Structure 1
Amino acid sequence: MKIAIIVNPLIPVPPDKYGGIERIVYMLIQELIAKGHEVTLYANEHSKPGCELVGYREYDPYSMLDIIRINALTSKIAFQKFDVVHTFGRMSNIVLLMLSKLPKVVSYQLPPTLSQVKKMAGLARKGSIHFTGCSNYISGQIAPYAPVTTIYNGVDTSEYTFTPAVAEDAPLVFLGRIQKEKGTDIAIHAALAAGRKLVIAGNVPDEKTHQAYFEEKVKPFIDGKQVSYIGPVNNSQKNELLGTAAAFLMPVTWDEPFGIVMAEALACGTPVIGFKRGSVPEVVQHSVNGYVCDSPEEMAAFARDIRKINRADCRRIAEEKFSSGTIGNQYEELYKRLIAK
C-alpha cells in the first residue's frame, strides 16, 4: 500500500523529548515500512521518520491562512496515487480531501471535538472516512456520529527491559507532567500511607498554575529519602526507573484518553495502580497487571499488596495488547478493509 500519514507540525517525528502522538506516529511508520508499505509523512520539517518526508509549518496563532495554505498542500494527496490517508492532526487541514473518494482515517488521541466529528462525517464522500480512538473511552464518544474503531496506543516492547523481580524495598514511581490533573500530590500521599518510598520523575510545565501546584503540593514533601524528585528522564533512564519500581502510580484526576506511560511500565513488568478514570480500566486488568481504585486510601492499600501481581503477566499483556507489532497489524487491517470497500 501507498500510505500518507499527517501529523501536526509543531514537534518533529520522532520527538526529541516529550510528544506522545509523534512517538506513536513514528512507531507506526516503522511497523508499516517493515511490512513493505510505502509511507509518506507530512510533518514538522525537522522530522526524521525513516520514510519520505513532506515538511510543512503552522503559525501561531493558527489562522484561516494556515488552513488555506495547508489544504493546498494536502489536497494534492488525492492525485498522487495514495491508497489511504491517515491523519493524527487537525481535520481542518484536510477539508478539501473530504471531497475525494480516497479512504481517510482520522485518529483521536485526545477527547474528540464532537462538533468537528459530525461536520467532517457529513462533509466526507460517503463511506470514505473512518475514525479511530486510542481507547474505548474515546471511541465511545465518536460512535454515535461516525464509524470508529478502537486501536490502543502502545510501545515498542523490545526497547523496554523486562524485570521479573524487584527488591523488597523497591520504590513506587510517578512519571509524567507534574500537574494537578496527573495527581502527583495524590501519589505522594498514597505512597506515604503505604509506607513505601516514591520516586517522582517528569517536568513541571511553565504555566503559573502548574508551577504553583508544584511549590505548594509537591515540593514540601520532597526529602530525598521517602519522596524523591529526579526531574525529566530520557528513554534509558525511564526504562531503568520503571523496571526497578514496585509499581507505577496513575492517580489521574481527569479522564485519561490512554496514558502511554502505563504501557511503558507494563512492558518493564511493572504493575500499574490507577484511578478508575478514562482509559485506565481498559489498560489495567484489576488483580492481573495491577489494580484499579477510587481513592488514595485504596491506592495505598493496593500498593502494600503489590507483590501479589505477577510481573510476567504485566509483560505478557503489554506484548499482546500494547506492542508496536499489535498496533501496526491493527492499522494495516483497517487500511485494507477501507480500501476494499
Structure 2
Amino acid sequence: MLHAQPLNIAVMAHLHHPIASPFPGGLEMHTALLTEELTARGHSVTLFAKGGSHTTGTVVPVLDARFHFAKHPEGPARDAQTRHLDDAHNTTLNLIDEGNFDVVINNSLSPLPHADPPTAPMLTILHTPLLPRVTAVFEASGYRPSPRQRFVSVSAANARQWRNHLDDISIVHNGIRLDEWHAGVLTRRRSNTAVWAGRITPEKGLHVAIEAASLAGMRIRFAGPISDQDYFTRTIAPLLSESVQHVGHLNHGQLASFLSSGTVFIASPLWAEPFGLTTVEAMACGTPVAALPCGAMAEIIDQRGGVVAGGFSAADLALAIEQARRADSTAVRASAARFAAGVMIANYEQHLGELVNQDILSDSEMLAS
C-alpha cells in the first residue's frame, strides 16, 4: 500500500547561521519557507538547525546559538571549526535515525549525509556550486548514490557543475510568497535610484554595482549584512556618499519596501550564482533587474523582468541598467510569478512522495521474496 499524505519530514539545515529573520542569505530564507509551507500543507516537519532558529514546525537545536562561524579560518582554527560542525551534523543524523521519519530533506551542505546516509530516504537540494568535501565523497572509489537518495538543483546553471559527479539531477527553482512582495508596491519609488541587496562580500560584486550605477548617472542604496568586514572597510566604505548609501540589514518586511523603492535593482554576482532570490524578490515588487551574466541570472531574468548585461564590466552593467529601468512594472511582476512558492513546494512534495512510495514498494518486494 502506497504512503498517503501527510508525511513525517526531517529537514537538515546548514549550521552556519540560525534559520531566522533577518536572513543572512537565500539558503536560510529557503529553509524557513520550506519548513513553514510544508507544515501549512499538513506535513509534520522537524527542523534540525542551529540554536536561535524559528519556524512553524518543530525545531531541534543541534548547535549552540553562540557558535560563531568564521568564513575563512586557517590551520588549526579551520580544523576545529570543521570538527565542531561535523559533530553537530552527526548528532542530527543520529536523531533522525532514532525518529520515525518518512523522509529527509538535506539542506545541510555537509558531506556526512552522503558518506553515511540516514535510514530514511533523502532528498538533497543543491544550493551551491561544487563543495570540495561533498564532491570528495562522490569521487571516492565505489561510491554510487543509493536509489533511496535523490538530488535536485535550484537552477539548471547550478546543476551543470554537479553533473560531473551525479548523473540524475532534477531542477526545482526556488520560490517566494508573491503576496509578501506585492505588498511593497505601495512604496513610493525614488527617482533615479538603483537598489541592491545581499550579503556584502567580494563575490556579490557590490563594488561593481556602485560603479555601474555611477556610470548610469544613478544613486544607489544597498541593504544586507556585512559578511566580510575587511572587504567593506577597504572597498565599500570609501565609496559611501549621499549618492551611495548602506541602509543596513533589513528584515523580510523592510526588504519588500526597500526593493519596491528602486527604479531598478542591480544584481552583480562575480561568481556562479546558483539562483539569486533577491533578484526574484525585486521582480515580484515590480522593480526591473539589471544583472551581470553570471550563474543563473540569464535563467531567471526573462525579457519582461529585466536585462542581463552583454559582458562582465561595470560599463556593460551600466548599459543594462539604462535599458532595464524602462521596463513596465506590471510585466516585471508577471515575470516573477513563475517562481511562486506553491509551485516550488508542489514539486518538492512530488519528489518526497515518490521517494517514500519507492521505499515502501522496495520493502514490500523484499518481504515477498
Name 1:138's counterpart in structure 2.
158
Report the Cα distance in structure 2 between the residues aligned to 1:37 and 1:99, rounded to whole angstroms. Answer: 20
SS in 2 for 1:98: coil
Long gaps (5+) in structure 1? none
Name 2:245's counterpart in structure 1.
228
Name 1:298's counterpart in structure 2.
316
Report the Cα distance in structure 2 between the residues aligned to 1:272 and 1:75, rounded to whole angstroms. Answer: 44
Report the Cα distance in structure 2 between the residues aligned to 1:206 and 1:96, rounded to whole angstroms. Answer: 31
Name 1:159's counterpart in structure 2.
180
Alignment of structure 1 residues 204-219 onto 2, 5 Å:
204-215=226-237, 219=238
Alignment of structure 1 residues 271-282 onto 2, 5 Å:
271-282=288-299
Q: Is 119-128 or 195-204 further displaced after alignment?
A: 119-128
Instruction: Give the deviation of 1:198 after TM superposition.
Output: 1.9
Is the contact made by 1:107 and 1:132 (CA closer than 8 Å) also made in structure 2? yes
SS in 2 for 1:41: strand
**2:87 is the alignment partner of 1:62:** no
Instruction: Give the deviation of 1:63 after TM superposition.
Output: 4.6
Instruction: Give the deviation of 1:143 after TM superposition.
Output: 2.2
Is the contact made by 2:22 and 2:251 (CA closer than 8 Å) also made in structure 1? no
Name 2:304's counterpart in structure 1.
288
Number of aligned residues: 333
Q: Is 121-130 or 268-277 further displaced after alignment?
A: 121-130
Following TM superposition, the consecutive aligned residue runs of length 4 or more in structure 1 with deviations greater than 4 angstroms are: 63-66, 120-125, 164-168
Which amino acid in the other structure matches residue 344 of structure 2?
I
Name 2:43's counterpart in structure 1.
37
Instruction: Give the deviation of 1:272 after TM superposition.
Output: 0.8
Paired-residue identity, %: 25
C-alpha distance after superposition, 1:135-179 (max 9, x if no partner): 112111222332212222232222112539975834111222334
Name 2:31's counterpart in structure 1.
25
Instruction: Give the deviation of 1:72 after TM superposition.
Output: 4.9
**2:327 is the alignment partner of 1:309:** yes
Query: TM-score, structure 2 length as denominator?
Result: 0.80
**2:71 is the alignment partner of 1:52:** no
Q: Is 238-247 or 120-129 further displaced after alignment?
A: 120-129
Name 1:183's counterpart in structure 2.
205
**2:20 is the alignment partner of 1:14:** yes
Report the Cα distance in structure 2 between the residues aligned to 1:69 and 1:264, rounded to whole angstroms. Answer: 32
SS in 1 for 2:11: strand
Is the contact made by 1:98 and 1:123 (CA closer than 8 Å) also made in structure 2? no
- Please report the RMSD computed on the Cα atoms of aligned residues, expressed in angstroms: 2.8
**2:17 is the alignment partner of 1:4:** no
Distance change in 2, residues 1:12/1:333 (3 Å): same
Name 2:73's counterpart in structure 1.
none
Distance change in 2, residues 1:65/1:240 (3 Å): closer
Report the Cα distance in structure 2 between the residues aligned to 1:165 and 1:234, rounded to whole angstroms. Answer: 16
Alignment of structure 1 residues 74-89 onto 2, 5 Å:
74-78=93-97, 80-89=99-108
Query: TM-score, structure 1 length as denominator?
Result: 0.86
Is the contact made by 1:84 and 1:339 (CA closer than 8 Å) also made in structure 2? yes
Long gaps (5+) in structure 2? 1-6, 70-79, 359-369
